[in-house]
Chain A
Amino acid sequence: MTINSIFLMVLTGLQLGAIYALIALGLTLIFGTLGVVNFAHGALYLIAAYCAVFAAQSLGFGLAIVLVPIILFIFGIAMERGLIRFFYQRPHTDQILVTFGIAIVVEEVLKWMFGANNIPFALPSWGAGQVLFYGLGANVPAAIPGIRVPMPFLEGFAFFPAWRLLLIIVTAVTIFALFALLQFTRFGLVLRAGMRDPEMLRFLGVNVTIRFSILFGIGAMIAGIAGVFGGPVTQVSPTVGMALLVPSFLVVVIGGMGSMLGALVAALLLGMASSFTTGFAAAVGDPTAKMALTALQQIVVYLVAVVVLLIRPRGLFGKKGIFE
């Protein structure tokens, strides 16, 4: 295995983790603050991806990037005001049932409107193509187009899709922005206080309700960002929401329910685990080891979950008393 293959596997792991992280982030944010297990989060991703396809086709990709998160923000607030708020005081099982129900309705409505097969979601021309990474003294032919990034440890050069690198960057920026919002703003301060003791805040005359509603909207908005940037990668079909929800929920559980840092670490862990077991399965020569690794790459995500939860039942960064 060369240094170049390992480098590509790391990038792949980061990118796989990025999609999980973006979806898990919204899930864990809503759970950590509002205490609601939102199984409709995959459906929010789905709505975002479908909106993005049509916005990109009619208005251009640039506008889709701006519009779709706003649409999802509004949708999120409407969902919180119209349905979710009635479930704050109900048990988690009720919340799961109602949000899972929403997920099924959204999936079937989209299937009814646009069919069960994929809708092509092409990359914008500025986001297509490859980024070229080159090592020291590499002789890169001048004819190869696209962005070039020096990477001194590489032998020769290697490519990675530009859009997937962008996805990694967008995820990093989103996480940082969310962290800053909660940690360094007055809004974040009130929210964190509201999570501790909403009643006391109400006595002090703070309108917690509206802030909770906005927070739910932000969670949906992150699903919107995931839909616009992840849609061209995962493609757009009615089942993709559920296909992403399961590993993303796993990320939340492995990271520790409600922990944002945990979700980030767990997403990276799962991404790297998928990427490296597949990479090793392809690279290994011994037939028995190959068979074992090929089987392993299909279940590695769940295996990691089992091991982590056996050692740390509350997840990597889980706190006592949450979801117990």
Chain B
Amino acid sequence: MKLTDKHLTRRGLLKAGAATSLVLAAPLHFVRGAWAQEKAIGTFPAGTSGSSVKYGFIVPQTGAYADEGADELRAYQLAVKHLNGGGGMLETMKPLSLKGNGVLGKKVEYVTGDTQTNPDAARQAAQRAIERDKVIMFSGGSSSAVAVAQQYLAQDKGVIFMDALTHSNDTTGKDRRRYGFRHFFNAYQSGIALGPILAERYGKDRRAFHLTADYTWGHTQYESIRDATEKQGWTTVNNIMTPLGAPDFSQYLTAAINSDADVLILNHYGKDMVNSLTQAVQFGMRDMQKNGRNIEVVVPLYSELMAKGAGDNIAGVLGTANFNEKLDDPGSAAFIKAFTDEYGFPPSQAAQTAYVQTLLYSNAVEQAGTFYPPEVIKALEGAEIEGIGPGKALYRAEDHQCFHDILVVEGKAPSDRQNQYDLLKIVKQVPREEVTYPADIPAFGGKDAQLGAYEPSA
């Protein structure tokens, strides 16, 4: 075929243009009832025709975040148990459409997959769950690189993805997708919450040295904390990107010691954070003085599992968290009790977000009265829900970020701990209003960030 054959003629272009504008002009409302025919999208209706539906829980079972993945899976199993038989947050959630008899009368089953903490493996596992098992929704992940990859897959396939652990701004920023929803908080919110407390504790004229994990999460975490602390009057002396999984951080710590910075900010997660914090303590940074003041160490994103790994070194170190097992609002209390009864130890924040996400999706289905994805998405968009954590949570329609109170936490000294799980104390519960920001700010992709279509083109 000659190349010119492919070119559009002027007439062809006009025809195509006319057709497109006709399609665009047609009323594209998906208001329930008004749209009589629900088209086949993704695994709908094939995945919902039987007496049961399947969810896909794709979590890291191997790789660096396997412990987080294991805790997510426990929470998912608990959520399925409660969906089918009642209990847990089903007793506190408002407005509640779920009845504890499955979802829309169908028993909930699940399949699991392994992300290996690797975006490619995660996509393959999710694809298998969608194509082979016909899952109607999938959830999981413990890395923003994985979450972003899954969201794009969800949009392509027309199957809703409920993010679990992902803290990068990009997830609901430049990479936000119509078929992806995030309940977990993000790096920008960590900055808003942490900035004022850092200034209050350590003063307004501090000089910060950042070490940052070199991938999507680390980059947005660094930018968010840098902006938040500079707003408080701090100076950013330096930032060095460190490769993921580095066993030894001594060259970076030496660089920090050689600078005139008096605060070390570790934009690391998981093992990297445990290593860099432990080694900073070995380098004597917690006992050292610079500019006439004690050097302070800050870990913007904390998790219970990391705190456990870092042992005594977390004492007095500030950071933020999405959830803590000491929260006593009715929703958190019901979840913590159910989880502890089932497994014998309290849930991590990874477990909490996984559990809540499963319930939120299921409740939206029940409320919409259908598994048809565009309807479920609409039910989630703008939903305001109580009893799933402190205060009221809002799933913002513009970017699919869930807004709720978040926590500033501090590592406990070994002498203050009641038991082996008592590692963090809540310094402040930051209200939802304070950590809400406009959906189109530059840190979240600006005005160009789009969710995409309700109906995937495929």
**Residues of chain B lying within 8 A (CB to CB) of residue A117:** 67, 270-271, 274, 305-306, 308-309
Interface assignment of B247: CB less than 8 Å from any CB of chain A: yes
**Residues of chain A lying within 8 A (CB to CB) of residue B105:** none
Majority SS of interface residues in chain A? helix
Q: How would residues 297 to 318 of chain B score, 1 for a CB under 8 Å from any chain A CB and 0 otherwise? A: 0000000011011111100000
Interface assignment of B383: CB less than 8 Å from any CB of chain A: no
Interface assignment of B294: CB less than 8 Å from any CB of chain A: no
Does A164 lie within 8 Å of B310, measured CB to CB?
no
**Residues of chain B lying within 8 A (CB to CB) of residue A15:** 250
Interface assignment of A229: CB less than 8 Å from any CB of chain B: no
Interface assignment of B279: CB less than 8 Å from any CB of chain A: yes
Interface size grouping (class) on chain B: 35 or more
Q: Please, how many angstroms separate the alpha-carbon atoms of A235 and B65 in the complex?
A: 16
Q: Please, how many angstroms separate the alpha-carbon atoms of A300 and B260 in the complex?
A: 25
Interface assignment of A239: CB less than 8 Å from any CB of chain B: yes
- Among residues of B, the one whose C-beta sits closest to the C-beta of A9 is B254
- Among residues of A, the one whose C-beta sits closest to the C-beta of B214 is A298
Does B251 lie within 8 Å of A12, measured CB to CB?
yes
Contacting B at CB under 8 A, from A132-154, are none
Interface assignment of A118: CB less than 8 Å from any CB of chain B: yes
Q: Please, how many angstroms separate the alpha-carbon atoms of A149 and B259 in the complex?
A: 23
**Residues of chain B lying within 8 A (CB to CB) of residue A235:** 247, 271, 274-275, 278, 309
Q: How would residues 78 to 120 of chain A score, 1 for a CB under 8 Å from any chain B CB and 0 otherwise? A: 0000000000000000000000000000001001000111111
Does B255 lie within 8 Å of A278, measured CB to CB?
yes
Does B258 lie within 8 Å of A283, measured CB to CB?
yes
Interface assignment of A234: CB less than 8 Å from any CB of chain B: yes
**Residues of chain A lying within 8 A (CB to CB) of residue B274:** 117-118, 235
Does B271 lie within 8 Å of A237, measured CB to CB?
yes
Interface assignment of B199: CB less than 8 Å from any CB of chain A: no
Nearest CB on A from B72, distance (A)? 13
Nearest CB on A from B131, distance (A)? 28
Knowing A111-B66, A240-B247, A294-B241 touch, does A12 contact B284 (C-beta < 8 A)?
no
- Among residues of B, the one whose C-beta sits closest to the C-beta of A119 is B309
Interface assignment of B240: CB less than 8 Å from any CB of chain A: yes
Cβ 8 A contact of A298, one of B243, B284, B306 = B243
Knowing A12-B251, A278-B240, A294-B241 touch, does A129 contact B67 (C-beta < 8 A)?
no
Knowing A243-B245, A243-B246, A243-B247 touch, does A159 contact B278 (C-beta < 8 A)?
no
**Residues of chain A lying within 8 A (CB to CB) of residue B313:** 120
Interface assignment of B340: CB less than 8 Å from any CB of chain A: no
Nearest CB on B from A147, distance (A)? 13
Interface assignment of B248: CB less than 8 Å from any CB of chain A: yes
Does A118 lie within 8 Å of B254, measured CB to CB?
no
Q: Which of B251, B252, B278, B313 has the most CB of A within 10 A?
A: B251
A side interface size, CB within 8 A: 48
- Among residues of A, the one whose C-beta sits closest to the C-beta of B278 is A235
Knowing A117-B306, A119-B309, A122-B312 touch, does A5 contact B258 (C-beta < 8 A)?
yes
Q: Please, how many angstroms separate the alpha-carbon atoms of A137 and B148 in the complex?
A: 58
Contacting A at CB under 8 A, from B243-296, are 243, 245-248, 250-252, 254-259, 270-271, 274-275, 278-279, 282-284, 288
- Among residues of B, the one whose C-beta sits closest to the C-beta of A276 is B251
Cβ 8 A contact of A116, one of B66, B238, B255, B283 = B66
- Among residues of B, the one whose C-beta sits closest to the C-beta of A115 is B67
**Residues of chain A lying within 8 A (CB to CB) of residue B284:** 129-130, 159, 161
**Residues of chain A lying within 8 A (CB to CB) of residue B310:** 118, 120
Q: How would residues 1 to 12 of chain A score, 1 for a CB under 8 Å from any chain B CB and 0 otherwise? A: 010110011011
Knowing A164-B250, A234-B248 touch, does A282 contact B255 (C-beta < 8 A)?
yes
**Residues of chain A lying within 8 A (CB to CB) of residue B65:** 116
Report, nearest first, the 10 A-B pairs whose CB atoms are least far apart: A120-B311, A116-B66, A118-B309, A282-B255, A234-B247, A5-B258, A278-B251, A12-B254, A118-B274, A275-B251
6 contacts across the A-B interface (CB closer than 8 A): A8-B254, A116-B64, A118-B274, A243-B246, A243-B247, A279-B254
Apart from A115-B66, A282-B255, list 17 A-B contacts with CB within 8 A: A9-B258, A13-B251, A118-B309, A118-B310, A119-B309, A120-B308, A122-B311, A234-B275, A235-B271, A235-B275, A275-B250, A275-B251, A279-B251, A282-B258, A282-B259, A295-B241, A298-B214
